Amino acid sequence: MNQIGLVIIGSGPAGTAAADFVRKQSAMSVTVVSDEGLQFYVREHLARFLSGRDTEDALFERGRNHCETIGAAFIAGKVARVDPREKSVSFADGSVIKYGDLLVASGGKPRELDVDGANLDGVSTCYTLEAARGLKQSLDSARRVTIVGGGTIAAKLIPFLHERSTEVTVVERSPMLLSNVLDRGASSVVKRALVDNGVRVIENGEITEFIGEKGKIRHVQLRSGDPIPCDTAIVAVGIRPSVGFLNEAGVKIDRGVVVDAGLRSTAGHIFAAGDAAQAPDPLHGGAPTVHSGWKKALAQGEAAAKSILNREPGYSGSINSEHLQILDLGVAAVGITATSNVVREVVESSVEKRFYRKFTFDDTGLTGAILVEKDLPAKELRSALERLLLQKKRPSLGSVSEYEGLLRLPAHALVNRLVEMQGL
């Protein structure tokens, strides 16, 4: 097969946003490749699929043949190697295609646990539709579920498992839940809410074995403590960028493919977007940083497409930005929030009242915030904060007392205040 034009590795949001833009705006030929063998589906709704709220068809919100609809080709296959001199992509089955431009939108692959019993029936990750299909079956008869890993995927799964009255245990290796999103204070508030709702939380817990009976998971064994009985174990211990096929391509890879604000890698005609890309973070002086997430992948895919078409990408970079709904708690964490990186902060918190607010700022203005509280409009707050922090000039309120004022505003007034601050 011989293809010239744009080849996109990955049919997730980054790859699909790029394919849509290029097909709409130009006559360039586009080929999308996926080793899942599936065209675009909404991975971020896999928890809704597991809960039965979304059917499998609903995940394919643009249809199962989106590529054909937009006039792009689709190849189901695993990319094994990229050769920038030949401008070629080689597949695991030995076939080769050529590209004019290449977009690496290959996202991440779930990390697996290298312990005995990891292949038992009932032990699964939850990153692909294929995994979720198996998991759904297993969950149908499960009374007790252990989630290994207390990060954002666990946070998405807990509410629906709780809704089904499943007994849930979360085992987190580090000393706190959501350690890549929250600080210790905010994490304690989330933990309290989970525990009060009957979720068992084990921090500093290291899995040493999945113990089975007749090939089926029965217990999770930790380094210390009694085995935890369970019918299903969901492994959600993070992802690693899927970029191994670039190892011999001379492309700079750090924690992902390092790209500039035009999403260009260090090799000519190779671009990267989404969870596989390490793009400039304006809050860290433009240092390339991996920030995973659906919206970021869409924005980077479109910006990469503009660069490929030699247009101004208009991309202001990506920053840490997350919102979650965990039972009745809304959680928003945006910008620089880790205490080790913070210049100054104001905090108000109460574990009992399930309330945590922190604003961080430096001499030039706001740098980040963490908000956790009951019925918080987390999505709106996250968007308002993200827009604010991505402005060329971050807002400066002037004095510590003005930031302290933000701690006490009712949540909806806070959203309005943050919107007002845009352009200040």
Q: Of the listed pieces 101-109, 367-375, 400-408, 411-419, which binds ligand FAD according to CB under 6 A?
A: 101-109
Nearest approach in angstroms of CB 361 to ligand FAD is: 25
Task: Select the residue interacting with ligand FAD from 36, 54, 362, 404 (CB under 6 A).
Answer: 36
Contact by Cβ (8 Å): 18, 9: no
Closest to ligand FAD by CB, 93 or 114: 93
Q: Which one, of 128, 176, 392, 172, lies nearest residue 283 by Cα?
A: 392
Q: Is 403 exposed, middle or buried (0-12, 13-18, 19+ CB in 10 A)?
A: buried
Provide the Cα torsion 181, 261, 307, 322; round to 10°: 10
Binder to ligand FAD among 6, 7, 10, 230 (CB under 6 A)? 10
Q: Which of 7, 82, 105, 366 binds ligand FAD (CB under 6 A)?
A: 105
Site string for ligand FAD, 247-276 (x = CB under 6 A): ---------------------------xxx
CA-to-CA distance for 276 and 297, rounded, in angstroms? 9
Binders of ligand FAD among residues 359 to 398 (CB under 6 A) are none
Q: Does 126 help bind ligand FAD (rule: CB under 6 A)?
A: yes
**Residue with smaller CB distance to ligand FAD, 9 or 72:** 9
Nearer to ligand FAD, 104 or 346 (CB): 104
Q: Least CB distance from residue 46 to ligand FAD, whole Å?
A: 4
Tell me whether residue 153 or residue 217 sits nearer to ligand FAD (CB atom). Answer: 153
CA 395 to chain centre: 27
How far, in Å, CA of 349 to CA of 358, rounded?
A: 8
H or E segment at 160? helix 152-163
Name which of 50, 46, 44, 42 is nearest 232 in CA terms: 50
Site of tokens 């809304």: 330
Please identify which residue in 117, 159, 293, 395 interacts with ligand FAD, judged by CB under 6 A.
Answer: 293
Could you say whether residue 294 binds ligand FAD (CB under 6 A)?
A: yes
Helices (H), 94-224: 129-140, 152-163, 184-196
Check binding of 411 to ligand FAD (CB under 6 A): no
CB nearer to ligand FAD: give 36 or 206. 36
Token pair listed for 49: 């699929």
Cβ nearer to ligand FAD, comparing 337 with 349? 337
Q: Could you say which of 19, 20, 30, 34 contacts ligand FAD (CB under 6 A)?
A: 34
Q: Residue 390 has which token pair? A: 């991505």
Closer to ligand FAD by CB, 78 or 162: give it: 78
E runs forming strands in 10-111:
30-34, 73-76, 79-83, 88-91, 96-98, 101-104, 108-110
HEC-encoded secondary structure of 60-81? CCCCCCHHHHHCCEEEECCEEE
Which residue's CB is nearer to ligand FAD, number 79 or number 326? 79
Say which DSSP state 117 is in: T
Near ligand FAD by CB under 6 A, which window of 23-31, 40-48, 111-119, 207-215?
A: 40-48
Judged by CB under 6 A, which of 74, 99, 210, 245 binds ligand FAD?
A: 245
Alpha carbon distance 55, 165 (integer Å): 21
**Interaction residues for ligand FAD, span 167-226 (CB under 6 A):** none
Q: Residue 113 and residue 110: Cα distance in Å, rounded?
A: 10
Q: In sequence order, which residues have a C-beta less than 8 Å from that of residue 126 and are 6 or more positions away?
A: 46, 47, 50, 110, 132, 135, 153, 157, 234, 236
46 scored as a contact of ligand FAD (CB under 6 A): yes
Q: Which residue in the set 3, 6, 15, 113 belongs to the binding site for ligand FAD (CB under 6 A)?
A: 15
User: Residue 174 forms beta bridges with which residues?
Assistant: none
Q: Which of 29, 44, 269, 409 binds ligand FAD (CB under 6 A)?
A: 44
Annotate each residue in 53-92 with x if it binds ligand FAD (CB under 6 A) or - if it does not, as one string. Answer: -------------------------xx-------------
What's the one-letter identity of residue 123? V
Q: Which residues bind ligand FAD (CB under 6 A)?
A: 9-15, 33-36, 43-44, 46-47, 78-79, 105-108, 126-127, 153, 156, 242, 245, 274-276, 292-295, 297
